[in-house]
Each structure stands twice: as C-alpha cells, then as structure tokens.
Amino acid sequence: MAEIFKRLPSLPSERALKVISGRWKAVILYHLFDGPRRLSELRRLVPAVSQKVLIQQLREMEEHGLVHREIFREVPPRVEYSATALGQSLEPVLLALCEWGQRHAEELGEVDQVGDCIIRPRQGA
C-alpha cells in the first residue's frame, strides 16, 4: 500500500472538494448512505463503473475516512463497504451541492437535463 501520505490542500473547502470529487464518489456515497453494500451490489447499482475504478474510488474514500471496509472470511469471501460517521456527515453537504446544482441548471435553462436531489429515506437497516 502506498505509504506516501498525499497531503490534502490546507484550504478546508479545497480539502473537502478534493476528497469528494471523484468521478463516482457521490453516487457511491448515495448508495452507502442507505446502508452497507457489498462490492457486487455496488457493481449492480452503478453499472457504468468498471470494477477496477469502483474499487479505486472506494479505497480512496477509505483512506480519507469516509468509508469503512469490512472483510468477512466466508466462502466465497464477502466484503462490505459502509459509510463512516464522517462519511455520513457528507450527506447535508452533498445535498447542498445538489440543490445548488439544480439552481445552476435552472439558471442556465438546462433543468430538463438534471435529476432531482432525492436522497432515498433511510430504510430500516
């Protein structure tokens, strides 16, 4: 594992941006907000990502403390990814970004091109 501690920006907002902005991180997080997910599940949920990149994004988020990775030594092996408290604390931030993104789309007359900000309400687990 790369021990090289890549330092994050010292400007907090830049730090946050750096940590959140990966091609698939927002989507992955949305799914993890709903509860722990196995890799295979995430692959189903986000079919557009390749396995390699999916793992890549997850590992980066793990390194940044957003995601917890738990290995269950079963057969076949099972690995569960879940959002840490720190990860969960991103929910309102992502919501703010989402709402602003919508406003942005509106002001540029591209509302039809964007989805909504519904974050699936926590379901049981």
Q: Which residues bind DNA (CB under 7 A)?
A: 21-24, 38-40, 48-53, 55-57, 59, 69, 71, 75-79
CA distance linking residue 23 with residue 95, whole number of Å: 17
Q: Does 93 bind a copy of itself (CB under 8 A)?
A: yes
Using alpha carbons only, what angle is made at residue 23 by residues 58 and 56, rounded to the nearest 5 degrees? Answer: 30
- Are 82 and 67 a contacting pair, CB within 8 Å? yes
- Alpha-helix runs per DSSP H in the chain: 12-20, 25-33, 39-45, 51-63, 85-88, 91-107
Is the N-terminal amide bond of 47 cis, ω within 30° of 0?
A: no
- Are 57 and 25 a contacting pair, CB within 8 Å? yes
Which entry of a copy of itself, DNA, none binds 44, CB below 5 to 8 A by partner kind?
none
Which entry of DNA, a copy of itself, none binds 26, CB below 5 to 8 A by partner kind?
a copy of itself
> Count of residues binding a copy of itself (CB under 8 A)?
42
Question: Is 78 or 99 the residue whose CB approaches a copy of itself more closely?
Answer: 99
Q: Does 120 bind a copy of itself (CB under 8 A)?
A: no
Question: By the criterion CB under 8 A, which residues form the site for a copy of itself?
Answer: 7-8, 10-21, 26-27, 64-65, 86, 89-90, 92-94, 96-105, 107-108, 110, 113-117
